[in-house]
């Protein structure tokens, strides 16, 4: 590819113009990049939610869950099916591989559900829900105001929602916490009975009235008028006047009023009743821009709402995103500065430094343009990739410029020196860059969360490196022609100038330090190899002390607290317990805002049943708060509370990536008794494992309930059945939904009630049951008693299961998981029961396995590229020796900095595979060139090492210094992914660079020296034969010229 340099030098003005155009285009594209905390990820799961109000979990499982599971089994893309049958709701979670089309999957799920619609109860309507990180709200506001809350909710809907919905990039604005109201008709049995009014009578009257029927067209002179019969019921007064019999109106036999639904949840913000406003960005919307604009509008919106209305942010992506991006940008800028200073120190020339450094902004701008074209966002991964790339994109330019500068120092004519300098290193530069880029290709083989998360990272680094290669072969030669000056001859010949320059190089401190080392290593090869072997053994030994985890905590200011009381606790009891936690939160000055929702569950957002014994808190810490210390303090303070249930201070909220310290054990058994026993054993084992806290099982204690067992023989005498009595009891509590009417511009359910719902078991026993013209008490036809039933039933792939979960308290999640696995293996579980680790342990094991395969694939790709470059199978094997020794420094620095080996660190190891061979390629390429010129193996090795010492050290030190701010975490933000990666790359570069300059030349001398001696011997033998007496003894002469070390 050296032709690029010749072409660029012939068209210098065009090259400069193209560079300016690229920078100008970048100035337009870069501000258009949307900003996110993490890349957009589509969750590989969909949820089928089927509300079945008032029905016990075992009946939900039999009538709803099992038919849905059976229908979904036929979809081939689904990997597993998990279901939860709770009181009043079934939730079925289906998972599939990352990359599968969510739209296609949801369509297939909906088709499967349509096929079984007739098998489900009539009032069950399953909904399919799927989403991605784009569905997470950009900002959540809590709205509070004293006075009429219904009027305030209406204000939010009519004032705030339209104002926010009209903003650019906003997809949806939703007000949460608003209680729906129903039109409730409460029948007065004393008046309805004599009037002959029943539920059927009222239903028929509602269906026959309040409708508009187009009847036709009538002609009035020259006009054609449409005829419309009937009209909508305008309001409650119209409804009261509705005739239900020839002599009675609805108002005569019943009361009609607009009544809020029974409260099943309570929401407060900073201790005050509140509503929530969730704002979600569209896929191409900029969450940060939306959030900032909303914050700017809050004061005006509060003024429009009037009174003491307040809008407070309880979740906001913008501060975390902006701070993380700002921090990584600062670290990248510092890294760039350090890299430029390193180049200046080595080259001792401002001109040369500027020519080299221009590759950094050019490569970064090209990478950012690629992100814009590929519709990627600017997030922690892509920005971290750019920061990592800052230290690498300058490498090619350093090698090219250093060689150009060397030839200029020999007194060569400028253009000749540039072209010669570029030509000598083009092959090595191209091969070394391709190897670094190629290691990211296996990222495509990594599936799951890790592959999706790091794919933008790989694309960013790859584009930046390819751009740096093109810049080094085009722009750097042009800038060298314009700004670098050849050495003044002073009347000396070029040979004299070159000899002077070479002598000056040999006298440099670096050369004086390195030459004795390389000569000793190539002479005492066995000693060198033994030292290398000792280092390798120590590396393997050090690896046993490494901590492992999945991904570190992301350090966001928002986190959650989950509170759970005893099963069966009512809303009032949970509310009282939640207030105790609120008191603690209010006492912390480091907390900016907190919101609690009492009576919620995981299924609430999907229409599932609510649980009155739970409370969920969203807490936002102040910007200068130590979030981890705050969490620890809260755990201590809430743990000291009495009568407050179980309280767990959890992970950051809103990240979309799941817990990074949650341990789970999935227990399965055929029989319920075995499942209960096995879950208890596992729970005890987890509780006794050091480093695990907050252990709990979803196989909760039985929930109390009231069973109504119909005495069928007695009920039959009154013409009653299970179904008839069940409908009457259900109507007593929930009412009977008759129809929907538009009243005062809003659609409302019309619910028929027969009086106040029974408030106690005794009231329930006394419930009046109409029976063939007379009324009997419920306990006359049924046994009413308190009983125990399951709170929820979990099934995994059709088999009843339980999940025992806990939280890893230390940083070494891998060691904790290993200890837990040992305890599980030692358990004597009931026959047929199994217990398998899941949660973060499963995620970590899967990610480590896939990244291990990716590393093997990367080594194979690098080997193929080097075989093509050197046209040899042996020399690439020599170069690959540097790969395991890169682990020496990486492991050492991980141990020194107490950094766990997680997914980001393994991505750093993957990068090292490509990085560490680049310097070795540059070195070996020059050695081969010297051997082609006739040098002996050892002379070529020593001279090649001497010549490549400066560029190798420059590229390594520049990369290390560029990554140093990130590894140190100077800004302390956004480093949960980039910091471990930088630590690994720095450590690996230090050890691999030293070994590249010593061990690779030693191995090359051993392998190629032996091959050369064999080759020369084969050439000597024919010359010793009688038929070849007249031929010159060139072979013998070459052997005699070999130094003793090469024999």
Residue environment code for 934-944, b if the CB has 16+ CB neighbours within 10 A, otherwise e: ebbbbbbbbbb
Contact call for residues 35 and 377 (beta carbons, < 8 A): yes
Confidence of residue 1039 (pLDDT cuts 50, 70, 90): very low
pLDDT tens digits, 823-858: 998 998 988 888 988 877 777 888 888 888 888 888
Query: Residue 1002's domain spans which residues?
Result: 508-544+872-1022+1032-1047
Element holding 164 (H helix, E strand) = helix 161-165
Collapsing DSSP to helix, strand or coil, 436 comes out as helix
CA distance 824 to 182: 53
The pLDDT > 70 percentage for the chain reads 90
Tokens coding 466: 């390819």
Collapsing DSSP to helix, strand or coil, 26 comes out as helix
Half-sphere exposure for 139 (CA within 13 Å, toward CB) = 26
Highest-confidence range of 199-203, 338-342, 585-589, 923-927, by mean pLDDT? 585-589
Residue 1037 is predicted with a pLDDT of 36
- Number of Cβ atoms within 10 Å of the Cβ of 175: 17
Residue 532 is predicted with a pLDDT of 87
Q: What angle do CA 866, 868, 870 make, to 5 degrees?
A: 65
Does residue 603 surpass a pLDDT of 60? Answer: no
Query: Residue 943 domain-assigned?
Result: yes
CA distance 44 to 99: 8
The DSSP string of 978-990 is: HHHHHHHHHHHHH
Tell me which of 76, 100, 135 is where a domain ends.
Answer: 135
CA distance 208 to 196: 18
Contact call for residues 954 and 961 (beta carbons, < 8 A): no
Tell me which of 112, 135, 158 is where a domain ends.
Answer: 135
pLDDT tens digits, 160-196: 999 999 898 898 898 888 777 888 888 887 787 788 8
The pLDDT > 90 percentage for the chain reads 15
CATH number of 989's domain: 1.20.1640.10
Query: Residue 131 domain-assigned?
Result: yes
CA distance 875 to 497: 34
Contact call for residues 68 and 116 (beta carbons, < 8 A): yes
Half-sphere exposure for 12 (CA within 13 Å, toward CB) = 10
CA distance 898 to 891: 10
Query: Residue 963 domain-assigned?
Result: yes
Confidence of residue 972 (pLDDT cuts 50, 70, 90): low
- 867 CB burial (10 A radius; 0-12, 13-18, 19+): middle
- Number of Cβ atoms within 10 Å of the Cβ of 545: 9
Contact call for residues 391 and 963 (beta carbons, < 8 A): yes
What order of strands is seen across the sheet that includes strand 181-187? 254-260, 181-187, 746-753, 736-743
Does residue 948 surpass a pLDDT of 90? Answer: no
Residues in contact with 356: Cβ distance below 8 Å, sequence separation at least 6, in sequence order: 343, 347, 394, 397, 398, 401, 476
Does residue 490 surpass a pLDDT of 60? Answer: no
Query: Residue 932 domain-assigned?
Result: yes
Residues in contact with 815: Cβ distance below 8 Å, sequence separation at least 6, in sequence order: 547, 548, 691
Q: What is the dihedral of CA 827, 829, 833, 838, to 10 degrees?
A: -20
DSSP 951: H
Instruction: Mean pLDDT check: name the lowest of 134-138, 869-873, 1024-1028.
Output: 1024-1028
The DSSP string of 696-717 is: EESSPPPEEEEEEEE-HHHHHH
Instruction: Mean pLDDT check: name the lowest of 162-166, 426-430, 766-770, 773-777.
Output: 773-777
CA distance 346 to 343: 5
Q: How many domains does the chain have?
A: 2
CA distance 816 to 238: 68
Q: What average pLDDT does the structure give for the chain?
A: 83
CA distance 210 to 240: 13
Q: What angle do CA 831, 834, 840 make, to 5 degrees?
A: 165
pLDDT tens digits, 291-309: 999 999 999 999 999 888 9
Tell me which of 118, 135, 152 is where a domain ends.
Answer: 135
Residue 1021 is predicted with a pLDDT of 60
Rg from Cα positions in the chain:
38
- Residue 591's nearest CA partner among 634, 549, 550, 540 is 634
Bridge partners for 575 per DSSP: none
Query: Residue 916 domain-assigned?
Result: yes
pLDDT tens digits, 710-720: 999 998 988 88
- Residue 730's nearest CA partner among 196, 245, 59, 50 is 59
Contact call for residues 483 and 15 (beta carbons, < 8 A): no
* Cα→Cα distances 685→251, 661, 695, 811, 818, Å: 64, 18, 10, 20, 13
For the segment 450-459, the average pLDDT, to the nearest whole number, is: 83
Contact call for residues 215 and 227 (beta carbons, < 8 A): yes
Query: Residue 521 domain-assigned?
Result: yes
Residue 466 is predicted with a pLDDT of 92
Residues in contact with 591: Cβ distance below 8 Å, sequence separation at least 6, in sequence order: 585, 619, 620, 621, 622, 625, 630
Torsions phi, psi of 347, nearest 5? Answer: -90, -20
Torsions phi, psi of 574, nearest 5? Answer: -65, -40
pLDDT tens digits, 237-251: 888 888 988 888 988
Residue 63 is predicted with a pLDDT of 92
Tokens coding 762: 């005794």
Bridge partners for 837 per DSSP: 665
CA distance 138 to 800: 38
Does residue 517 surpass a pLDDT of 60? Answer: yes
Torsions phi, psi of 245, nearest 5? Answer: -140, 170
Does residue 1030 surpass a pLDDT of 50? Answer: no
Collapsing DSSP to helix, strand or coil, 828 comes out as coil
pLDDT tens digits, 950-967: 888 888 888 888 888 888
Report the residue count for the chain: 1047
pLDDT tens digits, 348-368: 888 888 888 888 889 889 999
For the segment 473-484, the average pLDDT, to the nearest whole number, is: 91
pLDDT tens digits, 609-653: 446 788 889 898 887 788 888 988 998 999 899 888 888 887 654
Residue 660 is predicted with a pLDDT of 65
Confidence of residue 495 (pLDDT cuts 50, 70, 90): low
pLDDT tens digits, 12-56: 999 999 999 999 999 998 888 888 777 777 777 888 988 887 788
Residues in contact with 546: Cβ distance below 8 Å, sequence separation at least 6, in sequence order: 891, 894, 895, 900, 901
Max Cα–Cα distance, the chain, nearest Å = 139
Contact call for residues 394 and 357 (beta carbons, < 8 A): yes
Does residue 1043 surpass a pLDDT of 50? Answer: no
Residue environment code for 822-857, b if the CB has 16+ CB neighbours within 10 A, otherwise e: ebbeeeebeeebebebbbbbbbbebbbebbeebbeb
Instruction: Mean pLDDT check: name the lowest of 68-77, 93-102, 227-236, 552-561.
Output: 552-561
Q: What is the pTM assigned to this prediction? A: 0.75
Place of tokens 């038919």: 67
CATH number of 58's domain: 3.30.70.1430
In this structure, the strands spanning 212-220 and 266-269 are unpaired
- Residue 384's nearest CA partner among 551, 626, 557, 543 is 551
Query: Residue 823 domain-assigned?
Result: no
Confidence of residue 1028 (pLDDT cuts 50, 70, 90): very low
Residue 227 is predicted with a pLDDT of 87
Where is pLDDT greater, at 430 or 662?
A: 430
Query: Residue 235 domain-assigned?
Result: no
Does residue 104 surpass a pLDDT of 70? Answer: yes
Dihedral sign, CA of 182, 183, 189, 190? positive
Bridge partners for 595 per DSSP: 269, 618
Does residue 604 surpass a pLDDT of 70? Answer: no
Does residue 445 surpass a pLDDT of 50? Answer: yes
Residue 711 is predicted with a pLDDT of 92
CA distance 715 to 720: 5
Q: What angle do CA 664, 665, 671 make, to 5 degrees?
A: 140
């Amino acid at each position: 590819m050296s032709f690029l340099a010749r072409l660029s030098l012939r068209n210098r003005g065009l090259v400069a113009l193209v560079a300016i155009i690229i920078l100008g285009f970048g100035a337009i594209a870069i501000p258009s990049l949307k900003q996110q905390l993490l890349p957009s990820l589509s969750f590989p799961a969909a949820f089928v939610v089927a509300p079945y109000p008032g029905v016990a979990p075992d009946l939900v499982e039999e009538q709803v869950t099992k038919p849905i599971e059976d229908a979904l089994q036929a979809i081939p893309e689904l990997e597993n099916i998990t279901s939860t049958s709770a009181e009043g709701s079934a939730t079925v979670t289906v998972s599939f591989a990352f990359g599968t089309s969510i739209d296609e999957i949801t369509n297939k799920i909906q088709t499967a559900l349509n096929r079984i619609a007739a098998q489900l109860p009539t009032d069950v309507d399953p909904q399919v829900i799927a989403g991605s990180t784009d569905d997470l709200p950009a900002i959540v506001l809590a709205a509070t105001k004293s006075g009429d809350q219904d009027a305030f909710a209406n204000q939010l809907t009519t004032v705030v929602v339209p104002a926010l919905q009209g903003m650019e990039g906003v997809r949806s604005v939703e007000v949460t916490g608003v209680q729906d109201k129903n039109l409730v008709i409460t029948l007065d049995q004393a008046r309805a009975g004599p009037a002959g009014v029943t539920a059927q009578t009222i239903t028929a009257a509602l269906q026959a009235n309040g409708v508009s029927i187009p009847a036709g067209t009538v002609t009035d002179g020259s006009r054609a008028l449409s005829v419309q019969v009937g009209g909508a019921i305008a309001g409650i007064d119209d409804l009261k006047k509705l005739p239900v019999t020839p002599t009675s109106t609805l108002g005569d036999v019943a009361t009609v009023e607009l009544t809020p639904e029974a409260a099943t949840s309570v929401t407060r913000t900073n201790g005050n009743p509140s509503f929530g406003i969730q704002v979600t960005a569209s896929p191409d919307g900029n969450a940060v821009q939306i959030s900032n604009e909303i914050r700017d509008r809050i004061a005006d919106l509060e003024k429009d709402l009037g009174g003491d209305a307040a809008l407070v942010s309880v979740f906001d992506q913008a501060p975390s995103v902006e701070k993380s991006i700002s921090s990584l940008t600062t670290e990248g800028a510092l890294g760039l500065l350090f890299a430029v200073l390193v180049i200046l120190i080595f080259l001792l020339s401002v001109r040369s430094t500027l020519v080299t450094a221009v590759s950094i902004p050019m490569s970064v701008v090209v990478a950012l343009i690629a992100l814009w074209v590929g519709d990627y966002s600017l997030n922690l991964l892509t920005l971290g990739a750019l920061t990592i790339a800052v230290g690498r994109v300058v490498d090619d330019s350093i090698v090219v410029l250093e060689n150009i500068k060397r030839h200029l120092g020999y007194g060569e004519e400028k253009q000749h020196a540039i072209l010669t300098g570029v030509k000598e290193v083009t092959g090595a530069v191209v091969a070394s860059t391709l190897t670094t880029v190629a290691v990211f290709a296996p990222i495509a083989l990594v599936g799951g969360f890790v592959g999706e998360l790091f794919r933008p990272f790989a694309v960013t680094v790859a584009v930046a490196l390819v751009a740096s290669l093109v810049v080094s072969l085009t722009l750097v030669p042009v800038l060298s022609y314009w700004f670098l000056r050849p050495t003044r001859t002073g009347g000396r010949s070029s040979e004299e100038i070159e000899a002077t320059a070479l002598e000056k190089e040999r006298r440099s401190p670096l050369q004086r330090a390195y030459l004795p080392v390389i000569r000793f290593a190539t002479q005492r090869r066995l000693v060198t190899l033994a030292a290398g072997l000792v280092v390798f053994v120590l590396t393997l030994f050090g690896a046993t002390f490494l901590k492992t985890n999945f991904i570190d905590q992301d350090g966001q200011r928002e986190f959650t607290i989950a509170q759970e009381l005893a099963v069966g606790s009512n809303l009032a009891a949970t509310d009282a317990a939640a207030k105790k936690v609120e008191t603690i939160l209010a006492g912390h000055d480091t907390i900016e805002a907190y919101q609690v929702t009492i009576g919620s569950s995981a299924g609430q957002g999907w229409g599932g049943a609510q649980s009155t014994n739970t409370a969920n808190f969203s807490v936002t810490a102040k910007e200068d708060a130590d979030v981890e210390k705050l969490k620890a303090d809260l755990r201590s303070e809430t743990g000291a509370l009495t009568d407050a249930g179980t309280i767990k201070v959890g992970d950051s909220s809103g990240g979309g990536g799941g817990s990074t310290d949650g341990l789970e054990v999935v227990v399965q058994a055929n029989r319920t008794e075995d499942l209960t026993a096995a879950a208890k054993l596992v729970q005890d084992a987890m509780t006794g494992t050091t480093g695990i806290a907050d252990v709990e099982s979803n196989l909760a204690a039985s929930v109390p309930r009231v069973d109504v067992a119909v005495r069928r023989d007695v009920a039959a005498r009154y013409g009653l059945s299970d179904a008839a009595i069940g409908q009457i009891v259900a109507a007593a509590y929930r009412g009977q939904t008759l129809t929907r009417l538009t009243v005062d511009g809003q659609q409302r359910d019309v619910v028929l009630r027969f009086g106040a719902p029974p408030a106690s078991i005794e009231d329930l026993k006394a419930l009046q049951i109409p029976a063939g013209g007379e009324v009997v008490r419920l306990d006359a036809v049924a046994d009413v008693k308190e009983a125990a039933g399951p709170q929820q039933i979990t099934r995994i792939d059709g088999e009843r299961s339980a999940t025992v979960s806990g939280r890893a308290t230390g940083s070494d999640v891998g060691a904790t998981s290993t200890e837990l696995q040992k305890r599980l293996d030692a358990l004597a579980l009931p026959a047929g029961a199994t217990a398998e680790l899941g949660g973060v342990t499963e995620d970590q094991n899967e990610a480590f396995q896939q990244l291990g395969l990716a590393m093997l694939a990367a080594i194979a790709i690098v080997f193929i590229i080097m075989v093509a470059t050197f046209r040899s199978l042996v020399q690439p094997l020599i170069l690959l020796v540097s790969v395991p020794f890169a682990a020496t420094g990486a492991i050492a620095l991980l141990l020194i900095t107490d950094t766990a080996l997680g997914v980001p660190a393994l991505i750093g190891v993957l990068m090292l595979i490509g990085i560490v061979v680049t310097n070795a390629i540059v070195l070996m390429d020059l050695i081969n060139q010297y051997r082609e010129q006739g040098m002996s193996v050892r002379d070529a090795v020593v001279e090649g090492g001497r010549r490549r010492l400066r560029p190798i050290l420059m590229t390594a030190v520049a990369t290390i210094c560029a990554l140093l701010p990130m590894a140190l975490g100077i800004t302390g933000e956004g480093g949960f992914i980039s910091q471990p990666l930088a630590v690994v790359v720095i450590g690996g570069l230090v050890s691999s660079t030293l070994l590249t300059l010593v061990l690779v030349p030693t191995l090359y001398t051993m392998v190629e020296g032996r091959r050369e001696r064999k080759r020369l011997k084969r050439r000597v033998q024919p010359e010793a034969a009688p038929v070849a007496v007249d031929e010159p003894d060139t072979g013998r002469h070459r052997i005699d010229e070999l130094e003793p070390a090469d024999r």
